[in-house]
């Protein structure tokens, strides 16, 4: 009898352990995302899940579309923005993907018709965008006032409207900075920082990076900020200029080291960049004046269209060395120097040390005058 009772107890205990283990497995199942989309008037055949990297979309997954419906599943280590692309079109939908059930619905692909549910961070970003849009609308209205004042040639009004714009822009910046400070435990904070704060000085970026919660430090956006800090430090005035090589129009590599022994201005620009093209005559004048004294220019284009790049070189009479990898904002040299806007320039001395950055207009001429008058 006792033996039988012991057998029963053993069976019960094993059963309890088995159930407990089964529940344990279920509880620790790896979290995943599941995106279910239904776009009523979608007539594309394929949908792609992509990320945006180095100036281009990189497709990670694909699925056939059936009557406007499609799904994606997967796992993200940390929430991040991904994109839904369709066939070879330029239409896309962005969604902040986290490991949850996410639904995307809409009548068509127009932004105002798309509803994303199931991603708390996406909802948070949507709310943020709606608030900043209010500032943008006021800024647009002020720009129209500025144009009207220009047409009326009213200098006093131009100054007044200019101050009004600066004030509104400062309010927007303050709102963004306060929003980031108020959400340091959420991935939304480093994400917004990569959009709005990357132009800050190194000290501010370091303080910002340290302020994020430990729970989100693995986010790609925190890593992007830390990479930015390293790049800015390495390309600061007083540092040896980071070296690089890039092909000219004929596919022959030009190295930065080949200019050593001269002062060289590395000029980041593009044919499609209005401010670059407006600055070009000033750079041409500086080159003509100081070239014989040892001043060189290395033009690095952010173009993607070779013909437009070379036409701009010819039209603007840019007679110095030019190179491009035709990757636009993914330009390899631009990444090394942390270029986030063009025109962007770096002046390097004979020993290969950075002595100035972003000299434009008269500032460029004044610096070159100082250099070559001192050295003469």
Q: Note whether 146 and 168 are same-domain residues.
A: yes
Where does a domain end: 234, 256, 282? 234
Query: The domain containing residue 63 runs over which residues?
Result: 33-118
Q: Quick one: tokens of 200?
A: 């800050």
On the question of a cis peptide bond just before residue 160, with omega within 30 degrees of 0, the verdict is no
CATH classification at residue 72: 2.60.40.1120
Question: DSSP alpha helices (H): ranges in 152-302?
Answer: 155-181, 188-196, 202-211, 220-234, 274-290
Q: Note whether 253 and 315 are same-domain residues.
A: yes
Query: What is the predicted pLDDT for the residue at 102?
Result: 97
Compute the C-alpha angle 231/236/239, nearest 5°. Answer: 105
Q: Quick one: tokens of 92?
A: 């896309």
| The model's pTM | 0.76
Domain count across the chain: 4
Other C-beta atoms closer than 10 Å to the C-beta of 187 total 26
Helix crossing, 220-234 with 188-196: angle to 10°?
30
Q: Quick one: tokens of 223?
A: 């890593």
In this structure, are residues 147 and 159 in contact, taking their beta carbons and an 8 Å threshold?
Answer: no
Query: What is the predicted pLDDT for the residue at 376?
Result: 54
State how far the Cα of 210 lies from the Cα of 336, in Å rounded to an integer: 23
Considering the domain boundaries, does residue 295 fall inside one? Answer: yes
Q: Quick one: tokens of 321?
A: 């060395």
Q: Note whether 274 and 362 are same-domain residues.
A: yes
Q: Note whether 359 and 266 are same-domain residues.
A: yes
Where does a domain end: 234, 265, 286? 234
Q: Note whether 267 and 347 are same-domain residues.
A: yes
Q: Note whether 224 and 252 are same-domain residues.
A: no
Q: Quick one: tokens of 20?
A: 């407990």
Considering the domain boundaries, does residue 240 fall inside one? Answer: no
Q: Note whether 228 and 250 are same-domain residues.
A: no
Compute the C-alpha angle 64/67/73, nearest 5°. Answer: 45
In this structure, are residues 231 and 199 in contact, taking their beta carbons and an 8 Å threshold?
Answer: no
Which letter, b or e, does each residue of 74-112 get, where b requires 16 or more Cβ atoms within 10 Å of its Cβ? eebebbbbbbbbbeeeeeebbbbbbbbebebebeebeee
Query: What is the predicted pLDDT for the residue at 373?
Result: 84
Per-residue pLDDT of the chain (376 residues; tens, 9 = 90+): 444 434 433 443 444 444 444 444 445 567 899 999 999 999 999 999 999 987 789 999 999 999 999 999 999 999 999 999 999 999 999 999 999 999 999 999 998 899 999 999 999 999 999 999 999 999 999 999 999 988 998 899 999 999 999 999 999 999 999 999 999 999 999 999 999 998 888 999 999 999 999 999 999 999 999 999 999 999 999 999 999 999 999 999 999 999 999 999 999 999 999 999 999 999 999 999 999 999 999 999 999 999 999 999 999 999 999 999 999 999 999 999 999 899 999 999 999 999 999 999 999 999 999 999 876 5
Query: What is the predicted pLDDT for the residue at 375?
Result: 60
Considering the domain boundaries, does residue 239 fall inside one? Answer: no
Where does a domain end: 205, 234, 263? 234
Residues in the chain: 376
Q: Quick one: tokens of 326?
A: 């035709």
Query: What is the predicted pLDDT for the residue at 35?
Result: 97
Residue 183 per-residue DSSP state = T
Query: What is the predicted pLDDT for the residue at 28?
Result: 55
């Amino acid at each position: 009898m006792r033996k039988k009772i012991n057998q029963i107890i053993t069976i019960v205990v094993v059963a309890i352990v088995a159930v407990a283990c089964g529940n344990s497995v279920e509880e620790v199942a790896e979290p995943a995302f599941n995106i279910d989309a239904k776009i009523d008037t979608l007539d594309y055949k394929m949908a792609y899940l992509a990320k945006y990297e180095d100036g281009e979309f990189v497709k990670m997954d694909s699925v056939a579309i059936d009557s406007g419906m499609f799904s994606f599943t997967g796992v993200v280590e940390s929430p991040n923005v991904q994109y839904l692309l369709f066939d070879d079109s330029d239409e896309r939908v962005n969604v902040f993907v986290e490991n949850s059930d996410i639904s995307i619905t809409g009548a068509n692909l127009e932004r105002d018709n798309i509803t994303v549910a199931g991603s708390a961070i996406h909802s948070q970003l949507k709310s943020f965008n709606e608030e900043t849009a209010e500032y943008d609308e006021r800024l647009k209205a002020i720009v129209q006032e500025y144009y009207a004042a220009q047409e009326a040639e009213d200098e006093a009004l131009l100054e007044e409207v200019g101050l009004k714009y600066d004030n509104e822009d400062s309010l927007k910046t303050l709102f963004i900075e306060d929003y980031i400070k108020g959400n340091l435990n959420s991935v939304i904070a480093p994400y917004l920082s990569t959009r709005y704060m990357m132009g800050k000085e190194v000290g501010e970026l370091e303080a910002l990076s340290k302020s994020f919660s430990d729970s989100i430090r693995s986010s790609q956006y925190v890593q992007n900020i830390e990479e930015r800090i390293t790049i800015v430090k390495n390309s600061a005035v007083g540092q040896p200029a980071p070296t690089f090589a890039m092909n000219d129009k004929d596919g022959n590599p030009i190295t930065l080291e080949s200019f050593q022994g001269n002062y060289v201005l590395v000029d980041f620009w593009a044919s499609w960049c209005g401010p670059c093209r407006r600055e070009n005559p000033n750079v041409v004048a500086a080159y003509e004046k100081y070239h014989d004294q040892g001043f060189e220019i290395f033009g690095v284009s952010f173009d993607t269209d070779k013909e437009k790049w070379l036409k701009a070189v010819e039209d603007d009479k840019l007679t110095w060395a030019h190179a491009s990898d035709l990757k636009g904002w993914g330009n390899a040299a631009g990444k090394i120097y942390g270029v986030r806007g063009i025109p962007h320039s770096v002046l390097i001395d004979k020993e290969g040390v950075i002595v100035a950055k972003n000299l434009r207009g008269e500032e460029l001429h004044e610096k070159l005058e100082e250099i070559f008058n001192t050295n003469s």
